[in-house]
Structure 1
Amino acid sequence: MCGIAGWVSFERDLREQRAIAEAMTETMALRGPDAGGLWLDQHVALGHRRLSIIDLEGGSQPMAAERDGRSVACLVYTGEVYNFRELRAELQGLGHAFRTRSDTEVVLHAYLQWGETMVDRLNGMYAFAMWDAREERLLLVRDRMGVKPLYYYPLPDGALFGSEPKAILAHPQAKRRVTADGLREMLDLVKTPEAAVFAGMHEVRPGQAVSVDRRGLRKRRYWQLEAREHADDLPATIRRVRELLDDIVERQIVADVPLCSLLSGGLDSSAITALAAISMRRQGKGAVRSFSVDFVKHGTDFAADFLRGSPDAPFVRDLAAHAGTEHREILLQSRELADPALRAAVLGAQDLPPAYWGDMLPSLYKLFEAIRAQSTVALSGESADELFGGYRWFHDDSAIAADTFPWLAGTSGSFFDGRSLLAPELLNRLDMAGFRRDSYAQALAETPRLASDTPKERRMREISHMHLTRLVQALLDRKDRMSMAVGLEVRVPFCDHRLVEYVFNAPWSMKHFDGREKSLLRAACRDALPESILQRVKSPYPATQDPAYEKALREGLIRVLDDARSPALPLLDKTAAWKLLDRPFGKTSAPPERAGLEMALGLDEWLRHHQAALDL
């Protein structure tokens, strides 16, 4: 896992611009702490920072291919291609010779053999830039589910690109300007495909290839979800889900560095951990190392709320004992999550205000930091809820019927409403209601459908598609930024496109055939899990319930309100902010109040850090 950056200019000799290319590449140092490299040609600069996972000695980048003494193609690549061994064998049969054991070289030779159509053969999580010197063309490619990020910034004579916005913003031609559209993207938990917060910048869409040459920039979708008739009955569907999961997990435990799993005690992470334990035992690789996170005193002071009905720790212990993992619990102190240095590190990794996720981002950062001291690769249960229908709003008739995104409807939406402290005149100018309506209409229009779908199946297909193309992108981005900021690769087996395609087209009646959430996943992994996990109701990632954290947030808001130079001050409703501060606080504030506090502080910190110019 790595970080990439680069620049194409058809009017300049970039061999004379090494300093700029180095500055762009250096912004990716946290993503790739092990090594760095830069490749320059007349019209292209390719930068790479490496986190070594496979073939530690031979996988250095940028990686170039030569014929007749001249470079014909050069690759900078981040991620993992899980079927690289099969592809390498096929390519060897076609006459290709390999110098390394890395999947990077397989991707390079696959391009030489099949050109851009090679993307159809890849199974994995990846983002890469390929420079074809023969055609003077840059190809940017992102994996089907968008597990790995990739951004670009068109220029009159070419383009800039990078794994994160900060790589592009390190170039003097990239402006740190945010328009109303960019601010709207920050204020609603709906990730618009291809949109980026900074004006002029774009994100390569999942399953998309973007090419840049002298004729300009072109985009092509090489993969997207399609609606297909599901021919299997329920028992066959359950068997097929298990077959896919067994194969996916076996492919994803391949690494030349220490590997572990993230274990919350929920169905998703427990299934991945248990299947990894089975596969590793079968291969004679020993026990899986697992890690969980909790807050000091949650074991004795936990209080159920709307989202979380039970603490994680008892279920974590059950699964660890059942699967025989080497388990370690990471305990966090709530107040340290508001530490300015930690919040600055989170902000630097995120490139956006850490608003919706509250204490989740700093706690993820601390968890991944602790794991990184012992492992370099971790398996995660991320995206199972979106795929199998795990959230409670999948089963809430009012949320299903709402004319908006289900996670933003009714009571559920209040947990993600960070606008309570923003100035009314700002919100009116942004027309957030109109923005959400337009985003929702766009999502509906993109949903593939079958004529045979009943009205209920049609609606649940729409909701599933929204989650897999809008919500899951925000969650994957969150996981990627916090893990890569400490040099940890997190793999997400539930994002394997074969599983996503299959389960997306399974009827909703199968996805909750027993009247519960994630029925297919529960049935597919029943034999690998203890009964306590099978019976547990969905519970999200833990949030602190310690009033010390809320107190720290309030203190931060007071500093913003008392400082006339605070960049976020003109964006806030100061009367509402002081009223909130006058209220008594307890173990938790109401969801909109907590989200509003996080958004106000996050905006201020973000504007200070990025020195972004708001053009509203």
Structure 2
Amino acid sequence: MCGVVGVVDYDTPPEHRRELLQAMTETMACRGPDADGLWFGPSVGLGHRRLSVIDPEHGQQPMTARHQGRGAAITFSGEIYNFRELRAELITHGHQFRTACDTEVVLRGYLQWGAALVERLNGMFAFAVWDEQTEELLLVRDRMGVKPLYYWPTAAGVRFGSEPKAVLADRMLPRRVGAEGLCEVLDMVKTPEAAVFTGLSEVRPGQLVRVGRGGVRRQTYWRLEAREHTDDLPTTIGTVRELLADTVTRQLVSDVPLGTLLSGGLDSSAVTALAALSGPVRSFSVDFRGAADGFASDAVRREADAPYVRELARHVGADHLEVLLDSPGLTDPAVRAAVLRATDLPPAYWGDMWPSLYLFFRAVREQVTVALSGEAADELFGGYRWFRNPAALRAATFPWLTSGSARYFGGSSLFQPGLLDKLDLVGYRAARYAEAIAEVPVLPGESDTDRRMREIGYLNLTRFVQTLLDRKDRMSMAVGLEVRVPFCDHRLVEYVFNVPWEMKSFDGREKSLLRAAVADLLPRSVVERVKTPYPATQDPGYEGVLRAELTRVLGDPDAPVLPLLDLDRARAAAGRATGAVSRPYDRGSLELVLWLNSWLTEYEVTLDL
């Protein structure tokens, strides 16, 4: 893994920007705790922070190489899972390697194939290549957007980095947020390329960004395509198993300790069981102290994870560790400050999940450097309730924001009605939805049902999953842990995206294909288990701390969030008694106000509304 940064300035020699580039690089220290480096060329400066995973003794970055008179430099973040095959192919073209790491494979692949290299890569990655001959910078992000990459075009070039904080280290860039940026914060839409701060953009998944003397050009190298699915059901199940097994095997390659993240659900259990086929596996789960004994089911979480986690761990012989959290840890000001520094934005929903994931990953990082996760299976195989909710399927909006699900992602109830009207959240959401639907590929002759389910799948794979991948990336890299996501392998995504819905739900349940593909590896209880989301604390003490903090904020005349609030509602919320069990969807408004206030304060944000 790693953190990448860089400056392109066609007017000022980058050596004059050494102090800036060093500051930008230092912001990425958490992503790369093992080493750092700077490199300067004509009109460019690249920075790098390294988390050593493959060939730890070598592979220092930024890295340079030459081949047949052509030279290039790279700063790379991520993992290439087919780097060994590509390395062997490049050797046949006369390339001589100095290291055994995947970064050199990407660099020499660029020297051999140019930008077309990206079509050969299997992995999660975000990198920048400087071409010495053309004096052009190439920014590249993986197909599913597992790894982040941001950039800010300037009059003379660009600033870029793995996270907004790296770009914002240039204090000459204003920290301003307009109405559309605030809509992105307040609503669960996750518009591709939008990065909240005015002037800042995110490289879209599957996109190349070229920076040259003529400015910035964007190019899509991969997108979901509609293709006719001709395999029968047994063949489809077998293909899913084959692709997933190959993906997990590829992602087990590491020169440092590795494990899996296990919830006891179908997705993470499948990854852990497949990993166990290759040898002994270490697994990790998270829960809250006393949750197993005092668990209260609700509309989202019907049962505790722990019994299923333990059964799966026994079943595959995993060396398992349960990480137990508590409310004092979640509300620790130092932890919440670390979460905000990692995200650079107010956490979008269910704020306790961010500090809990941070603490979980911090504990996992004490044992391993790399972990495999089950993220993205629900979006790919249809695991969420809205895939089977007729009202959500009929609605002309994002299905997770319909009446049956919106309460889990909302949080604007304490803001001034006038502010919400001015922002026009409803109109903004409608516009973003229309844009997304217009992108969905069409398969001629497809039934209305399959057409609509293709749209729902596309929305989940290009919008919803991005929020989860961002959360996992920021919280894991904040502690120097690399998390890999086998269900984001583009071969698997391309195949399953085109399977008709009738086949995806052939047994009338969620994730029918995945369940059938891995059933022989899992205990029956796990195979039959109904989906349960990531655990959230039910401790009323946690919500009590939030209400006390909101009271403090309301009493601070300098709190930047105050002008945005309906103060009467906010005071009522702060004084409301907490029930015997705290439910995450009841405290979303509290979380958002507090995170927003901290963000406006710490990042010195100016709102242009």
Name the TM-score, length of structure 1 as normaliser: 0.98
Amino acid across the alignment from 2:114: G
* Cα shift readout 1:509-556 (whole Å, capped 9, x = no counterpart): 111100000000000001111001011000000000000100010011
Any idea what the Cα deviations from partners look like across 1:376-426, whole Å, max 9, x if unmatched?
000000000000000011111111111111111113111111101111111
Question: CA 1:106/1:71 → structure 2, altered by over 3 Å: closer, same or farther?
Answer: same
Which of residues 321, 336, 345 is equivalent to 1:352?
A: 345
| Alignment partner, residue 182 of structure 2 | 183
Identify which of 374, 380, 383 aligns with 1:381: 374
Kindly indicate whether the alpha-carbon contact (under 8 Å) linking 1:244 and 1:499 is maintained by their aligned counterparts in 2: yes
Pick which of 530-539 and 335-344 moved more: 335-344
Q: Return the offset for 1:584.
A: 2.0
> Structure 1 residue 260 and structure 2 residue 253: aligned?
no
- Tell me what 1:440 maps to: 433
Q: Deviations over 1:250-300 (max 9, x none)?
A: 10000000000000000000000000001x22xxxxx10000000011011
Q: Distance in 2 between matches of 1:209 and 1:7?
A: 17
CA contact (8 A) 2:371 2:482 kept: yes
Q: Match of 1:472, as an amino acid?
A: V
| 2:53 is equivalent to residue 47 of structure 1 | no
- What letter is aligned with 1:223? W
Residue 398 of structure 1 corresponds to which residue in structure 2?
A: 391
> Residue by residue, what CA displacement relative to the aligned partner does 1:366-385 show, whole Å, maximum 9, x if unpaired?
00000000100000000000
Structure 1: distance between partners of 2:173 and 2:117? 31
1:154 aligns to 2:153 (yes or no): yes
The offset of 1:216, in angstroms, is 1.2
1:191 maps to a residue whose letter is: K
**Residue equivalent to 2:325:** 332
Contact 1:178/1:198, CA 8 A, preserved across alignment = yes
Q: What secondary structure is seen at the aligned counterpart in 2 of 1:352? A: coil
Provide the rounded CA distance (Å) in 1 between the counterparts of 2:300 and 2:218. Answer: 40
Contact 1:15 1:42 in 2 (8 A): no
Partner of 2:298: 305
> 1:474-506: per-residue Cα shift (whole Å, max 9, x none)?
110000000000000000000000000000000
1:469 matched to 2:462? The reply is yes
CA deviations on 1:331-356 (whole Å, 9 max, x unpaired) are: 00123201111110000001111240
* 1:424 aligned partner: 417
> Aligned-pair distance for 1:171?
0.9
- Residue 18 of structure 2 corresponds to 18
Aligned residue for 1:146, secondary structure, equals coil
Counterpart secondary structure, 2:592: helix
Over residues 222-276 of structure 1, what are the superposed CA-to-partner deviations in whole Å (9 max), with x where a residue is unaligned?
A: 0000000001000000000000011101100000000000000000000000000
1-structure distance, mates of 2:67, 2:502: 56
Q: SS at the partner of 1:606?
A: helix
How far apart are the structure 2 equivalents of 1:62 and 1:587?
54
Q: Which amino acid aligns with 2:130?
A: W
Quick one: distance in 1 between partners of 2:67 and 2:511? 52
The equivalent of 2:108 in structure 1 is 109
Root-mean-square deviation (CA, aligned residues, Å) is 1.1
Counterpart in the other structure of 1:363: 356
CA 249–565 in structure 1, closer or farther in 2 if over 3 Å, else same: same
State the one-letter code of the partner of 1:129: A
Q: Distance in 1 between matches of 2:84 and 2:396?
A: 46
2:83 alignment partner in structure 1: 84
For 2:228 and 2:596, how far apart are their aligned partners in 1? 46
Greater shift after overlay, 174-183 or 289-298? 174-183
Partner of 1:552, secondary structure, is: helix
Give the distance between the partners of 1:146 and 1:130, measured in 2 at CA: 18
What letter matches 2:52 in structure 1? S
Q: Does 1:408 align with 2:404?
A: no
Please list every run of 5 or more consecutive structure 2 residues that lacks an aligned counterpart in the other structure: none
1:452 is displaced (CA, Å) by 1.8
Question: Aligned partner of 1:130: which letter?
Answer: V
Written as runs of structure 1 = structure 2, the 5 A alignment for 1:184-223 is 184-223=183-222
Q: What's the CA shift for 1:41?
A: 1.7
Quick check: 2:392–2:404 contact (8 Å CA) kept in 1? no
**Unaligned segments of structure 1, at least 5 residues:** 282-286
Q: Which amino acid aligns with 1:32?
A: G
SS at match of 2:57: coil
- Deviation readout 1:446-492 (Å, 9 max, x if unpaired): 11111221111111000000000000111100000000000000000
Question: Greater CA deviation, 171-180 or 51-60?
Answer: 171-180
Bigger Cα displacement from structure 2, 99-108 vs 391-400:
391-400
Question: Partners in 1 of 2:322 and 2:17 — Cα distance?
Answer: 48
- In 2, Cα distance between equivalents of 1:591 and 1:376: 30
SS of aligned partner of 2:404: helix
**What amino acid does structure 2 have at the position aligned with 1:143?**
D
Alignment of 1:158-169 (within 5 A): 158-169=157-168
Rounded to whole Å, the distance in 2 between the matches of 1:17 and 1:409 is 49
Please state if 1:290 is matched with 2:286.
no
Determine the structure 2 residue equivalent to 1:139: 138
Mapped partners of 1:243, 1:355: distance in 2: 36
Farther-moved stretch of structure 1 (570-579 vs 464-473): 570-579
The 2-side partners of 1:385 and 1:304 are apart by 21
Task: Look up the match of 1:2.
Answer: 2
Offset from partner CA, 1:113-167 (integer Å, 9 cap, x none): 0001010000000000000011100000000000000000000110000000000
CA distance in 1, matches of 2:127, 2:413: 40
Distance 2:46 2:470 in 1: 23
TM-score, structure 2 normalization = 0.99
The number of residues matched between the two structures is 609
Aligned pairs for 1:411-560 within 5 A = 411-560=404-553
Q: CA deviation at 1:578?
A: 1.3
